[in-house]
Amino acid sequence: MTTTAGPLTATELIAIREDFPLLERTVRGGRPLVYLDSAATSQKPECVTDAEQDFYLRRNAAVHRGAHQLAEEATEAYEKARAAVAGLVGVDAGEIVWTKNATEAINHVAYAMSNATLGRGGEDAAALRLGPGDEIVVTEAEHHANLVPWQELCARTGATLRWLGVTDEGRIDTGTLGVINERTRLVAFAHASNVTGAIAPVAAIVAAAHAVGALVVLDACQSVPHLPVDLRALDVDFAAFSGHKMLGPTGIGVLYGRADLLAAMPPFLTGGSMVEVVTMESTSYAPPPQRFEAGTQMVAQTVGLNAAADYLAELGMSAVAAHEAVLTEHLVRGVAGIDGVRVLGPTDATDRLGVVAFDVAGVHPHDVGQVLDDAGIAIRVGHHCAQPVHRRLGVHASARASVGIYTTHAEIDVFLEHLAGVRSFFGLGGSRG
Amino acid sequence: MADAMEQLYQQVILDHAREKHGYGLEQGAAGESFQVNPTCGDEVRLRVHLADGTAAPVIERVSWEGLGCSISQASLSVLSDLVAGADVARADELTETFRALMSGRGQPLDAEREEMLGDAGAFVGVAKYPARIKCALLGWMALRDALAHALTAEPSIVAPDQEKS
């Protein structure tokens, strides 16, 4: 495959799809699969599963222990993966902590602050302590993974949770940036919403946070698989993303932390592998990132994620973004153009990803998903782990179509054609049938 | 649309989803339950109203309100029709029979049990879709829970935030 700056050519897209055997299968009695649920989880190219298999069949050993050759090779693979992922998002390998998913990555930060508040980590971690009067700021558009850990942290420390609002269009309301004030200690927000698809005004939020000395946590789950992301340039202090949404395996997530912050953080999970000296009375901890990688690690998954990161890097994230921008335009305009269907999020393709949630008037999302599934079209239905933003936009739940690097224009056509027939199937806006 | 969808969304289901028999919470309930389907956030609050002057408890009617898909709403509507006038043993029997239908992977029950279920027999197609079985059972879970509250000394009205989902 060649790296291009513009959208993919038809030939390139065919070549990409050939890397994903699952896309060739049929569902529901022989219908070709139209997979529009990449925001939930991406499909995997064969190179990812090959890499995992090769690791298990030829190099499997415990990492960071043992003096034998296999242990050396496994450790090398594990650390090479760290460097590959770090390279993809523009940071140093030592700033990447492996976690089992993005949720755990966010909890690492929340529990480090919680433990610092209890005195763990000593004076080095004093800047992470929280108490009554301190504030944590999130947004109304967060996935529960970037909301509930902060609610819990506030409950444990006496800090107060506040949030930036969301506009009727589903974007973060920059008019509410005044919520960030001198009491704010941390600001956590999603780079791109998993419901509205809106890309956050990162620079404005980071500037407001840093102006008052608050730390910034970026939930980059939706952005890293679809956009060029340079965490250093974005100037965030922490970031979390998941392997399985970026063509990699499940069971592997990533926490990025600025080197000096990781060095100051007390651990969340403790036990084997993350220590220096252990006596019956106390323990000293390994430097980051090992300090945050307790217990046997998901080595094969890191190797799979390495292959995924290499695959994306070879395509070029600019090319990925350019391809998906064209699809996004087609998808969002198409959905917005159907009678009785409302897009929950921006209706143009500017500063948004190809994650399009929508409400079909008079038809529950579950029922929308069911009739589309019958046509072989896989979309997400429900609240997408983001109940508050649904409430904000005046709905209980929604249906959501989302694109990936392997999505075609023709697949979106099939989806739009069937979506247009959903209301009439349920006896609305026309005759059934 | 294809036949599979016509089988799943039988006209009787679409009619019940629209008509929602029993919809609208009423006062004077002997027991109440609030149930949530955590996968989609759908919810129902259902109340059981017992008849006066009967030796054994008899369900006079149920009343309910909720948000949900056509399958869950239709199931609640059908349930309201089926259990009105039923004693507790009959309500349990109906619940078990409906559960049996839902675990049948789309196979119909025997004639006697089909007869017992009436309109609820139309949900046979739901059992082919594992993700939707919970939708159809939501109301029945609420009924069982509300009856348990009604028949014990437990407080009959429970706030949603105290309920487990």
Percent of chain A with pLDDT over 90: 95
Between CA B118 and CA B122 the distance in angstroms is 8
Using DSSP's 3-state secondary structure scheme, residue A194 falls into: coil
Question: What type of residue sits at position A405?
Answer: I
The answer to whether residue A341 scores a pLDDT higher than 70 is yes
Chain A residues near residue B70 by CB distance under 8 angstroms: 363-364, 367, 426
Token duo for residue A308: 């995924």
Instruction: Write out chain B residues lying below 8 Å of A371, CB-based.
Output: 1, 5
In 3-state terms, chain A is what percent helix, strand and coil (to 5)? 45, 20, 40
Euclidean distance between the first and the last CA atom of chain B, given in angstroms as a whole number: 34
CA A363 – CA A356 distance, rounded (Å):
17
Closest residue in B to A390 (Cα–Cα): B41
Which has the closest alpha carbon to A163: A181, A185, A194, A136?
A136
Closest-CA residue of B relative to A376 is: B2
Paired tokens of A217: 């946590």
Give the separation between CA B120 and CA A391, rounded to whole angstroms. 32
Smallest Cβ–Cβ distance between A370 and the set B8, B14, B67 belongs to B8
What phi and psi values does residue A235 have, to the nearest 5 degrees?
Answer: 65, 35
CB pairs under 8 A between A and B: 53
Q: Which residue of A has its CA nearest to B134?
A: A366
Looking at residue A3, what is its pLDDT? 46
Task: Tell me which chain A residues have a C-beta less than 8 angstroms from the C-beta of B5.
Answer: 370-371, 374, 425
- Contact across the interface for B5 and A425, Cβ inside 8 Å: yes
DSSP A351: T
**Residue A83 amino acid letter:** A
Q: Is the pLDDT of residue B153 over 90?
A: no
Annotated catalytic residues of A are 385
ipTM of the complex: 0.86
| Residues sharing a CB contact under 8 Å with residue A253, sequence separation 6 or more, in sequence order | A98, A99, A100, A101, A102, A103, A104, A105, A240, A241, A242, A243
**Calpha distance B90→B82 (Å, rounded):** 10
Domains and CATH numbers, chain A: 10-44+316-425 (3.90.1150.10), 50-313 (3.40.640.10)
User: Per-residue pLDDT tens for A206-262?
Assistant: 999 999 999 999 999 999 999 999 999 999 999 999 999 999 999 999 999 999 999
Distance CA A254, CA A298 (A): 12
**B157 vs A19, which has greater pLDDT?**
A19
Subunit contact B1:A387, Cβ cutoff 8 A: no
pLDDT tens digit sequence for B73-130: 999 999 999 999 999 999 999 999 999 999 999 889 999 999 999 999 999 999 999 9
**pLDDT, averaged across chain A:** 96
DSSP A57: I
Count of other CB atoms within 10 angstroms of residue B133: 19
Give the CA-trace dihedral at A150, A154, A159, A162, to 10 degrees: 50
- With CA atoms as reference, the chain B residue closest to A28 would be B4
Contacts of A427 in chain B (CB under 8 A): 14
Query: How far, in Å, are A15, A82, A93, A109, A212 from residue A302 at the CA level?
Result: 25, 8, 13, 21, 36
Q: Which CATH number does the domain B3-151 belong to among 1.10.10.60, 3.40.50.10860, 3.40.50.10470, 3.90.1010.10?
A: 3.90.1010.10
E runs forming strands in A43-140 = 96-99, 135-139
Integer Cα distance of B24 and B123 in angstroms: 23
pLDDT digits (tens, 9 = 90+) for A164-215: 999 999 999 999 999 999 999 999 999 999 999 999 999 999 999 999 999 9
C-alpha–C-alpha distance, residues A299 and A171, integer Å: 38
Q: How far is A359 from chain B (nearest CA, A)?
A: 13
CB B50 within 8 A of CB B63: no
